[in-house]
Amino acid sequence: MNAKDLEQRVQRLEDIDEIRSLKSRYFHCCDQKDPSGMRACFKDGTCYIDYGAVGKFDNADELARIFKEIGCHDHMVEMHHGMNPVIELLGQGRARGSWKLHYFLINTKDKTLTQLGGYYEDEYQRVHGVWKISRTRFVATSTLVMDINGPEAKVAFAGRPG
């Protein structure tokens, strides 16, 4: 193996690790109620964001605004668990990836628990040497909502979102 091949292999590993760190930072910022940190995970300008029931956006500023409005409250106790990433480098500072998500929400105001499963389909772009999310779509595959307003939890919804 020559030095150039080794350099390319190391760069590939570093790029994949940076993308994993980017998505981990995104999940962490969501859980910590940090809209500016969450926003910083996306590229500036136009980017495609499709979060199903939450909405579709053509820029991350609008997503950050909705996140702050809906999710950044003490009564919204969230846990985003992203796992099983599959990341493919496409060349020229572009990549795509998929992530499984297990999401858990305790809403202490509405007295509900929500468990959501699904997956992200992401595209990434290197901008000024830093990887950013340029396109993302979340597809929910299972939902469990429980009413915890009483001595016994009751299932409000269980199944595949429609």
Q: Give pLDDT, residue 151.
A: 93
Q: Which residue range(s) make up the domain with 155?
A: 3-159
- List per-block mean pLDDT (blocks of 10 residues) for the chain, which spans 162 residues: 89 97 98 98 96 95 96 97 98 97 98 98 97 98 97 95 76
Q: Given its phi and psi angles, is residue 128 left (phi above 0), alpha (psi -120 to 50 degrees) or beta?
A: left
Structural domains counted in the chain: 1
Considering just the CA atoms, what is the radius of gyration of the chain in Å? Answer: 18
- Token readout for 46 is 């136009």
Alpha carbon distance, N-terminus to C-terminus of the chain? 52
Q: Give the position of tokens 């702050």.
A: 68
Taking a C-beta distance cutoff of 8 angstroms, is the pair 94, 19 a contact? no
Sign of CA dihedral 100, 106, 107, 112: positive
- Note if the pTM is more than 0.85: yes
CATH code for the domain of 74: 3.10.450.50
Among residues 39, 12, 8, 10, the alpha carbon closest in space to that of 95 is found at 12
Q: Give pLDDT, residue 1.
A: 74
Among residues 98, 149, 154, 153, the alpha carbon closest in space to that of 124 is found at 98
What tens digit of pLDDT does each residue of 86-124 get? 999 999 999 999 999 999 999 999 999 999 999 999 999
Q: Give pLDDT, residue 115.
A: 98
CA 106 to chain centroid, in Å, comes to 18
* Pairwise CA distance, residues 138 & 118, whole Å: 7
